Amino acid sequence: MNTLEDNMEDMLNISAEVSNVPEGGCATRKDQLKDVTEDREKDYEYTRGELYSLIDKGQEAVQGALDVAQESGHPRAYEVAVAAMKHVADMTDKLADLHKKMKDLDAEQKTGPSSVTNNAMFVGSTAELQKMLKKMSGGKR
């Protein structure tokens, strides 16, 4: 190491380590990326399991709220039971959305990008642009 590196180590109270660079220069970005498919599958399974658990607990809560509502006959108890039912229905919708999203991700991964966009740009003055447009229209202006 040189004196600049030594001084920086002293000033920042750190120690520098020499890393081995692979032959041919830096490691490529592709080498640094890991396969996210495994993480996606783990996340899917975890989320799916949590949704199932929440749906099961929600159904138990709905049953308990309905029992209380029937015993008391109080309108607020029925309101709570109906709200619990709505939450369980929302959870089942989220489960269906999770399946749809995974299916879309799998289809996207197999097909790749759906379209290519080519952008054209004119570089020049407005006078040059007008001349070019006149030539393209056959001088009809």
Encode pLDDT of 29-81 as tens digits: 555 556 666 788 888 999 999 999 999 999 999 999 999 999 999 999 999 99
Domains in the chain with CATH codes: 35-109 (1.10.287.1060)
Q: Strand, coil or helix: what is 132?
A: helix
Q: What is the pTM of this model?
A: 0.51
The sign of the dihedral angle between the CA atoms of 94, 100, 103, 105 is negative
